[in-house]
Amino acid sequence: MKYDFTSIEQKWQKIWDQKKVYSVDLNDTGKKLYCLVMFLYPSGDKLHIGHWYNFAPTDTWARFHRLKGYNVFEPIGYDAFGLPAENYAIKTGVHPQDSTRKNITDIRSQLKKMGAMYDFDYEVDTSDPEYYKWTQWIFLELYKKGLAYRTNAPVNWCPKDQTVLANEQVVDGLCERCSTPVVRKAMTQWFFKITAYADKLLEGLDSIDWPERTKLMQRNWIGRSEGVEIVFKVENVEDTIKVFTTRPDTLFGATYVVLAPEHPLVQKVTKPAFKAAVDEYVELVAHENEIERTSTSKEKTGVPTGAFAINPINGEKIPIWIADYVLSTYGTGAVMAVPAHDERDFEFAQKYKLPIRIVVNPTDGNLVEPLKAAYVEEGVAVNSGHFNGLESPKVWDGIADELQKNGDATRKVNYRIRDWLLSRQRYWGAPIPIVHCDSCGEVPVPDKDLPVLLPYDVEFKPTGESPLARNDAFVNVACPKCGKPAKRDVDTMDTFVDSSWYFLRYLTPHLGTAAFDDKLVSRWLPVDKYVGGAEHAVMHLLYARFVIKALHDAGWVNFDEPFTSLVHQGIITNQGAKMSKSRGNVVNPDQFVNGYGADTFRMFLMFMGPYNEGGDWSDRGITGIFRFLNKIYDLYSSEEVPPIAGEKTPPSPSDAERTAYRKINQLIKKVTEDLEQFRFNTAIAALMEFVNDFTQLSSENEIGPGLRSLVLNRFNVLLAPFAPHLSEELHELRGGEVPVFSSSRWPEYDASAITEENVTLVVQVNGKVRAKLTVPIDSTDEAVKSLASTEPNVQRHLEGKTILKTIVVQNRLLNFVIK
């Protein structure tokens, strides 16, 4: 018989669907497993190889657990709001709602062909009012807790997309979506106070099973640093300048102070003679874009203000400069410059001939002037008054304490992370549920009036103003508080708000009375295994953690980390470049599904290499998997194949039967261990190796039907997570109860049977292999030694030499060290 994958796959997809094999009883009290992939972005592209690479192996992992007896919940849904759909609409005139709906329909049918365990009754669509009603509710919950606020602040503006962006969406000064240089603009915008959770977000990382590099990225992004805020008086002016430093131990080495050009005191302190130059410089810097401003390779520039600050530790008068290398958005927007011990200050001081004073020497010697580079390590204090001779950590605390006592300093922790800017001047998103009233100010829309519906009929061409502002019917509304005419907020939310809680909604996608069902959420969350791309390390994955922590503190959920365990699949590139529509190098999976079947294709993706490494796409080798499945099909559909029910361990097995039994048990162990760790490639190699060994064994020797049946039964279950359609078919062919995923259990291996009877032992002379011996396992050192020395090739190399020592590693190797 021929392996007719098309009809087999169609047949089983239909049966699974009709019998509702994968619909989960969420109230089942058995062991639950929530297995989640990052949901889909239906912007106009169909499913591509990258999606398959994310979803299919994850489905294999989920199926494996289902066979192990877990109650597995594996949902899928659509992250349907967002810029790409809107940009597509602008280009083609097709309304984003229409294009998105159509896309979801197409993608759903592609997904069904994949044959994953998705239960399409639990789909989520973030652009559906029944979903975004609750996105708005979450916004309001955060608002009520003071975690959402609106303020005027310098923000990142993308001139092409005509909207503001979050810090996380600016990559190297470019818009993450369209690579346009981002400009800084002061605008009134909505923020989530993620900075309030900086420490909790850091601490939580210690308790979750995530890739270390992802945790590291989050730690770096949060950027916690402990330091001291020091007050410098300004000569002849009332105001003081606060600087943040992590090196108060170098305070005696401060030879000037630098303000960011945007610092509010710049105008106040500048001396009249310097005003013209300062104004000109401030103007110049204001026109620099984000890349120019933050580039480390750019030479630092600055101008003096003519004013002087007083160093609180020694009363010394030092000049105040303004310079572009000081950022207004970090710390206090002002720094004390210690050129001898800070690279940036050193570079600046050299250029502008500012004094460089050594105040820390290495413990093993003195620095030599003039310095060639800043010495940034710790050491021993010099030129530092009564702190001289003390080691840096002591000086650090000593100076901090002394200043603190005099009210000149406070210990402080600063973070690199900024609040999450969530408002967007775009159409295709969830409206922000706030009304602006002249008498009452910001008024949250009452829960009973949610959702604030996104009107269909809107001119969405970008003008820099929110498209919703042009829709009078949307904008004009009675104030929910006083009833007077008021206006709705016209911005929409960043789609990362939508995606930071969708995993709660999956359990009850159509629930009308709440965002989620507490009982189900407390039973099923957190997500046990989350699989998705590493590119979300500091965006989605950080935002979702924040939202969950906020909901936790507000009493809505009983856990504070959403994803217990995280896996990143690697990226599949094409000719070395990331697949994207604009590069025109996207590979469509349909041709492979049609040509070889979903089972072959998913298995090929898993066989390519380590799951978290991805790699460059090539279909070379897909025939190997296809041949393998054909071989299995032949093995199971031949005439003499014993039925499922005939399984039996023979009372006195032949050698071949013992070997076959050992190998199937070794295979169970290997595949089980590999699957647990997402090592699909080596698991598949082991399956292949087994089939090779087993066919050879049974062609040369007699393997009785009882054992043959046993082996085929176990093997077919091992195959099921990888090639589920084929496995069902083979099971049915041999009279088994189907579906496999309802009737079968993952086999346990027989520990007493996996040990080899003989081992191959390497005999070395001076570390070079000279012979190989097959000996019974656990042979004694003496037995092995005497056997080894009878090997002719070994004797030849030992002849006339003295054996200095003999190293024996049991069951592995023997090495004669000679002279």
Partner RNA sequence: GCCGGGGUGGCGGAACUGGUAGACGCGAAGGACUUAAAAUCCUUUGGCCCCAAACGGGCCGUGCGGGUUCAAGUCCCGCCCUCGGCACCA
Binders of RNA among 130-189, rule CB under 7 A? Answer: 171-172
Could you say which of 772, 780, 790, 801 contacts RNA (CB under 7 A)?
A: 772
129 or 398: whose CB is closer to RNA? 398
Stretch that binds RNA, among 26-34, 544-552, 607-615, 637-645 (CB under 7 A): 607-615
Closest CB 801 distance from RNA, rounded Å? 13
Q: If you count DSSP H runs as helices and E runs as strands, how many of each does the chain have, helices first? A: 27, 32
Residue 583 binding RNA, by CB under 7 A: no
What is the edge-to-edge ordering of all strands in the sheet holding 476-478? 441-444, 434-437, 485-488, 476-478
User: Which region among 73-81, 200-208, 211-219, 441-449 touches RNA (by CB under 7 A)?
Assistant: 211-219
- Kindly tell me which of 663 and 797 has the beta carbon lying closer to RNA: 797
DSSP sequence for 171-202: ETTEETTT-PBPEEEEEEEEEE-GGGGHHHHH
CA–CA dist 125, 735 (Å, integer): 41
Q: Are strands 529-531 and 566-567 parallel, antiparallel or unpaired?
A: parallel
In terms of Cβ atoms closer than 10 Å to its own Cβ (0-12, 13-18, 19+), residue 485 is exposed
Nearer Cβ to RNA (221/556): 221
Task: Kindly tell me which residue out of 762, 775, 787, 798 binds RNA, with binding defined by CB under 7 A.
Answer: 762
CB 6 → RNA: shortest distance, Å? Answer: 17
Applying CB under 7 A, among 286, 453, 478, 769 the residue interacting with RNA is 769
Applying CB under 7 A, does 4 fall inside the site for RNA?
no
Phi-psi region of 291 (alpha: psi -120 to 50; beta: other; left: phi over 0): alpha
8 Å CB contact between 748 and 672: no
User: Distances in Å between the alpha carbon of 595 and those of 590, 592, 726?
Assistant: 8, 5, 16
Rounded CA-CA distance 390/138 in Å is 53
Query: Between the CA of residue 517 and those of 135, 138, 461, 528, 570, what are the distances in Å?
Result: 15, 14, 38, 18, 34
Q: How far is the CB of 595 from RNA (least distance, A)?
A: 13
When binding is defined by CB under 7 A, the residue of 109, 388, 594, 766 that contacts RNA is: 766
Among 393, 610, 735, 776, indicate the residue that binds RNA (CB under 7 A): 610
Label residues 773-796 b or e (16+ Cβ within 10 Å = b): bebeeebeeeebeebbeebeebee
- Nearest to RNA of 13, 630 (CB atom): 630
Q: Which 354-413 positions form the footprint of RNA (CB under 7 A)?
A: none
Whose Cβ is closer to RNA: residue 284's or residue 807's? 807
Q: Residue 603 in contact with residue 625, Cβ under 8 Å? A: yes
**Binding window for RNA (CB under 7 A); candidates: 451-459, 469-477, 559-567, 763-771:** 763-771
Taking CB under 7 A as the binding criterion, the range among 497-505, 615-623, 702-710, 738-746 that sits at the site for RNA is 615-623
335 binds RNA (CB under 7 A): yes
Measured from the CB atom, is 388 or 696 closer to RNA? 696
47, 326, 435, 527: residue in contact with RNA (rule CB under 7 A) = 326
Residues in Cβ contact with 306 at an 8 Å cutoff, skipping those fewer than 6 apart? 270, 271, 273, 274
In the complex, least distance from residue 785 CB atom to RNA, rounded to whole angstroms = 14
812 binds RNA (CB under 7 A): yes
Task: Please tell me whether residue 798 binds RNA under the rule CB under 7 A.
Answer: no
The Cα 123–Cα 289 span in angstroms is: 42
DSSP state of 777: T
Smallest distance, RNA to C-beta of residue 630, A: 6
Single out the residue of 90, 186, 286, 327 in contact with RNA (rule: CB under 7 A): 327
**Binding piece for RNA, criterion CB under 7 A, among 267-275, 332-340, 354-362, 778-786:** 332-340
The nearer residue to RNA, 475 or 697, going by C-beta atoms, is: 697
Compare residues 539 and 644 and give the one whose CB is closer to RNA: 539
> Which of 100, 106, 96 is closest to 46 using CA atoms?
106
Among 20, 31, 298, 351, binds RNA (CB under 7 A): 298
Going by C-alpha positions, the residue among 258, 432, 235, 273 that lies closest to residue 338 is 258
Give the per-residue contact string, 673-712, with RNA (x = CB under 7 A; - = no).
------x-xx-xx--xx--x---x----------------
* Binding-site member from 36, 504, 598, 625 for RNA (CB under 7 A): 625
294 belongs to the binding site for RNA (CB under 7 A): yes
Region 232-291 residues binding RNA, contact defined as CB under 7 A: 244-247, 260
Tokens 């009809």: give the residue: 7
Q: Using the minimum distance from each CB to RNA, give the nearer residue, 44 or 614.
A: 614
Q: Which of 385, 441, 615, 776 binds RNA (CB under 7 A)?
A: 615
Q: What is the 3-state secondary structure (H, E, C) of 216-284?
A: HHHHHHHCCEEEEEEEEEECCCCCEEEEEECCHHHHHHCCEEEECCCCCCHHHHCCHHHHHHHHHHHHH
Q: How far is the CB of 324 from RNA (least distance, A)?
A: 5
Q: Tell me the site size for RNA, rule CB under 7 A.
A: 85
Among 513, 620, 638, 702, binds RNA (CB under 7 A): 620
Distance between CA 403 and CA 757 in Å, rounded?
Answer: 76
Among 267, 289, 366, 618, binds RNA (CB under 7 A): 618
Range 75-104, binding RNA (CB under 7 A): none
Structure tokens at 751: 């520990």
Instruction: Phi first, then psi: give them for residue 297, nearest 5 degrees.
Output: -80, -20
Which residue, 340 or 534, is less far from RNA as judged by CB? 534
> In terms of Cα–Cα distance, which of 194, 8, 179 is closest to 725?
8
The pair of three-digit structure tokens given for residue 170, joined into one six-digit string: 């600016």
Q: Which residues pair with 308 in a beta bridge?
A: 319
Q: Between 230 and 740, whose beta carbon lies closer to RNA? A: 230
Q: Is 48 in the site for RNA (CB under 7 A)?
A: no
Residues 724-743 that bind RNA (CB under 7 A): none
Please, which residue, 4 or 121, has the CB nearer to RNA? 4
Considering the complex, state which of residue 7 and residue 774 has its C-beta at the smaller distance from RNA.
774
For RNA, which residue of 767, 778, 782, 800 counts as binding (CB under 7 A)?
A: 767
Options 342, 560, 728, 729; binder of RNA; rule CB under 7 A = 342
Residues 715 and 136: their CA atoms lie apart, in Å, by 50
Q: Which of 92, 109, 188, 220 binds RNA (CB under 7 A)?
A: 220
Q: Please state the closest distance from residue 606 (CB atom) to RNA, in A.
A: 11
**196 vs 817, which CB is nearer to RNA?**
817
613 binds RNA (CB under 7 A): yes
Member of 534, 606, 644, 667 binding RNA (CB under 7 A): 534
What count of other Cβ atoms lies within 10 Å of the Cβ of residue 577?
10
Q: Which stretch binds RNA (CB under 7 A): 88-96, 447-455, 545-553, 808-816?
A: 808-816
Residue 95 C-beta-side C-alpha neighbours within 13 Å: 9
Q: Which is nearer to RNA, 194 or 458 (CB)?
A: 194
Q: What are phi and psi of 492, to 5 degrees?
A: -115, 170
Burial class (CB in 10 A: 0-12, 13-18, 19+), 151: exposed
What does 755-768 look like in DSSP terms, one character per residue?
S-SEEEEEEEETTE
CB of 613 to RNA, least distance (A): 6
For the chain, how big is the Rg over CA atoms in Å? Answer: 34
Is there binding between residue 1 and RNA (CB under 7 A)?
Answer: no
CB-side neighbour CA atoms (13 Å) of 608 = 25
Distance CA 408, CA 245 (A): 13
| Per-residue binder mask for RNA (CB under 7 A), 416-435, x = binder | x-------------------
